[in-house]
Amino acid sequence: MIATENDAYQESFNQFQTEQSATAPAWLTELRQAAMTRFTELGIPTKRIEDWRFTNVKSLAAKPYQNVQSISLASGDAEELLQRAKLDDSFHRLVFVNGHYVSQWSTQHEMPEGVVIENLASSIRENSGDLQERLSLETSDEAAAFIALNTAFVNDGALIDIPEGVVLDRPIHLIFLSVESGQTVCHPRNLIRLGKGSRAAVIESYLGREGEGYFTNAITQIELDKSADLDHHKLQHEQTDSLHVASTHIDQKDSSEFRSHYFSFGSLMARNEINCMLDGEEIVATLNGLYMPTGEQLMDCRTRIDHAKPNCNTYELYKGILDDHAKGVFNGKIFVHQDAQKTDAKQSNQALLLSDDAVVNTKPQLEIYADDVKCTHGATIGELDENALYYLRSRGVSKDLARKMLIFAFANDVVQGVEIPAVRQHLETILLSSHGLPDV
């Protein structure tokens, strides 16, 4: 029998199911099995699929990754990474190492009554809430295979519930660290729900130790009730031999506001998808992103915004800064349904190439079935302005500093959209540093 790329995942899944069978509820065991069957049917995407044409993920995803069943904190690597990941000790913080929650490194300050910030594995053990329905994430889009794979191994992640009318005064920082030696994989699943009129800020940070390369396959599901307001940040700092595949799914109701701030600096190959469903009126969604691949890195950014109801506004700005032999991909889709009259949607993608060998593929898309809308999209690709460089050099600024100043200016409007001072300072330090991750 000829082995396929799915065999290693199937073997790991069989072991995982056996180990989880004693404690997992029956519905979860069935959900995992159905998801694994779905993944086996789909297989790892290839470049023959249009939405994966520029991203050959199969070469990395088909490696024999091993699911880590337990963690060891003895080496100190995880603690060193944690110090790099920390932004502010006043934040609520949940820490996960190799996909497993670490209670002694997590912190929860005083919170309003009814707020839930905990790890998913604990909620599963207590069989609380409507987890069965929420974890049954189905999609027919280009990320379906990796969503199925995540569901097959779903076990831990963050669960955040903010009750109606609650304004959380501290950000929630979710830190995911990969430190196990060897080729390992983890599948974080984050569930975030904000009640009517509530407000919160959430930060996701992903870091890993240099080594043989690992695979992070993450999903974040966000539900915003009427008039809810969420600031969501993602900082991807994976190590340079790793694979990072992730998707964020947002379901918004009337008058809710969602702001996404995505920043990608690490990983050999990173693909991040954001899918927004605007299922109500007077909704506002803002998607901002910055990706900065160097060396042989490839970063693939995908967004889809579905305008399903009238009178909604969306704003999208993605920028890429590429150096060396790096590759970038941006695909932004705006889908305006027939009932979504009075839609106002703006999308812009800009790329700055610092090397003759850097390549970016950009594909903005509009699909409109309503007739009373304002929709615009645009894409630009360019190099550093030689006249601006000359101007700075003529005033005594060194060439290296002049380049950094222009690069900083190019990226700054995305960074300045971040309202949390600790996050913004962290990003500014990266932009002014010659390395991907600044010293702390």
In tens, the pLDDT along 22-52 reads: 888 999 999 999 999 999 999 999 988 888 9
Query: What's the whole-number mean pLDDT along residues 232-259?
Result: 96
- Closest by CA to 266, choosing from 435, 45, 89, 66, is 435
pLDDT recorded at residue 261:
98
Residues 96, 56: Cα–Cα separation, whole Å: 28
| pLDDT tens track for 149-179 | 999 999 999 999 999 999 999 999 999 999 8
- Closest by CA to 426, choosing from 207, 117, 102, is 207
* pLDDT tier for residue 440 given thresholds of 50, 70 and 90: very low
- Closest by CA to 305, choosing from 401, 395, 377, is 377
| 437: pLDDT strictly greater than 90 | no
Alpha-helical runs (H) found in 43-169: 58-61, 77-85, 120-126, 131-135, 144-152
Pick 262 or 440 by higher pLDDT. 262
pLDDT recorded at residue 404:
86
| 121: pLDDT strictly greater than 50 | yes
Alpha-helical runs (H) found in 279-420: 386-394, 399-415
pLDDT recorded at residue 434:
55
Three-class secondary structure assignment of 124-139: HHHCCCCHHHHHCCCC
- Provide the residue type at 384 as one letter: L
Burial label, 216 (beta-carbon count in 10 A; 0-12, 13-18, 19+)? buried
* pLDDT tier for residue 74 given thresholds of 50, 70 and 90: low
pLDDT recorded at residue 439:
40
* pLDDT tier for residue 140 given thresholds of 50, 70 and 90: low
Query: What's the whole-number mean pLDDT along residues 382-401?
Result: 89
* pLDDT tier for residue 96 given thresholds of 50, 70 and 90: very high
pLDDT recorded at residue 212:
79
Pick 248 or 398 by higher pLDDT. 248
pLDDT recorded at residue 419:
95
* pLDDT tier for residue 237 given thresholds of 50, 70 and 90: very high
pLDDT recorded at residue 435:
41
Enter the tokens of residue 402: 């002049």
| 334: pLDDT strictly greater than 70 | yes
* pLDDT tier for residue 73 given thresholds of 50, 70 and 90: confident
* pLDDT tier for residue 141 given thresholds of 50, 70 and 90: low
| 5: pLDDT strictly greater than 90 | no
pLDDT recorded at residue 207:
95
* pLDDT tier for residue 138 given thresholds of 50, 70 and 90: confident
Pick 67 or 104 by higher pLDDT. 104
Query: What's the whole-number mean pLDDT along residues 81-89?
Result: 94
Pick 403 or 203 by higher pLDDT. 203
Taking the model in full, what pTM does it have? 0.94
3-state helix, strand, coil in the chain (%, to 5): 25, 35, 40
Enter the tokens of residue 67: 């699911």
pLDDT recorded at residue 139:
66
* pLDDT tier for residue 322 given thresholds of 50, 70 and 90: very high
